[in-house]
Structure 1
Amino acid sequence: MSRSGRPKAELVLSEHEREQLTRWSRRAKSSQALALRSRIVLACAEGLDNKTVAARLGCAAATVGKWRTRFVEHRLDGLSDDPRPGRPASISVEQVEDVVVATLESTPKNATHWSRAKMAERTGLSRSTIGRIWKAFELKPHREDGFKLSNDPLFVEKVYDVIGLYLQPPESAVVLCVDEKSQVQALARSQPAFPMMPGMPERRTHDYVRHGTTSLFAAFNTADGTVISSLHRKHRAVEFKKFLTKIDTEVPDHLDVHLICDNYGTHKHPTVNRWLAAHPRFHMHFTPTYSSWLNQVERFFAYVTADLLQRSDHRSVQALEADIRNWVKAWNEDPKPFIWTKTAEQILDSLKRLLQRTTGAGH
């Protein structure tokens, strides 16, 4: 005769409890632990046994049993963590939820975003308490990032094309991410910098004198992280063709060359197209408009900026170009390839969710 185990305590939800549990389980920014516990209780309320609930939610049966029992004994309060030694918490779950919901779904009067002072005034909690709640839920109302959605009619096709080169590069070929970092300025600070000292950062004057510009052409090898580079005072189709000639010289003849570029006009100029027609081993792949984040060479340019250009002090373009050449040479002595992990499907799904949150589109 099979054993049925210990009898389970009956779990029946009131309308208020079901509504609250559903809210906790669905809110994207809620504590994931609380969301799981809420889903456990909701599933148990359907009459399912612990093993069935555990299999559905991907957790251990013992976990289901723990929160089933806690809820039966203490109801909604039983889903919070066990009390720890020290002063009892003076802030309720409802107050925390109110702060999080208000931060995510509203704005203060006569302001574009919440500050600690404004949220403290609204809720009656202290500023430090608001700060701790925001830190726990990783909310930063004072910060914002920019974005620009592509309007390229071939966006999906280009994403699949570029990501395919990253994740499954063709055989007997090299994949190079190509672009120009144009208008790199040789800037000379008006006064010498004060060096860093204990308790004091390095200090530089805000004003400077311009001594001309140069453009860094770079081809980033996605396989090994090495870079083919060239410096030109201008960045026209003529200079881009010269750079393609340099790539042709440095890449072994038996390899095809796949270039990932943006939609800058020089990359599609008739002069460049004629050169490409005369060099059939070269294949051009274009990122969608407003999608430079797909091009790995942009990450390389960010390193150049942070390590060299951000605090540069050059009295001539020649000095600037010499430092750039030395920096690229040092990079190639210890190259760092970037490991691309996102598939095209994952990228498109992320953009779909963004569209749904911002415009309701993307269905």
Structure 2
Amino acid sequence: MNRGKALPKLELSTRQHQLLSAYLNKRTVPKHYEQRIHIILRAFDGWSNRKIHLEYTLHVMTVSKWRNRWLAHYKDLCAYELEEKTTGALLLSKMLSLLSDQARPGTPSRISLSEKESLVALACKKPEDFGIPLSHWNREELAKFAMKMGIVQQISPRYVSKILKKAGDSSSQK
């Protein structure tokens, strides 16, 4: 029975293999990296896409995608590995970036960083300072007032909440 053309051999340098294997042994490996590294290591061991797909319960197209991406970038990865300044951590980082999802298209943000900062600054002030009879801002009033003041052209109360939440998350990490 003809099963199609043979898959190209997936290659790994000894150092690449060691770094990927060591990374898999960490306690906190994101699931998507774990799956993709297993695909690469098993393909290097000579496993077919079908065998990997069955073993790890992944879609066969997912297995094919990561195998092909590795093959397409392997020469560049080897050239990077041979550069003098390349440490193990840098090489691992490069391999993980290769195994990362590519940016997805989407509409660009309609609100600039400076507008977001102005909105956060406004939220830090009391509504009473602007003649608004509230002790604290709510997202609806903050959205209305930001548009009235010309800070933003248009914004929904929900997006105001999202901006303030992200601002709060980043300030708590400092």
TM-score range for the pair, normalised by the shorter chain length: 0.3 to 0.5
What's the TM-score once normalised by structure 1's chain length?
Answer: 0.23
What's the TM-score once normalised by structure 2's chain length?
Answer: 0.45
- Structure having the higher strand fraction is 1
RCO greater where, 1 or 2, for CA within 8 Å and sep 6 or more?
A: 2
Larger radius of gyration: 1
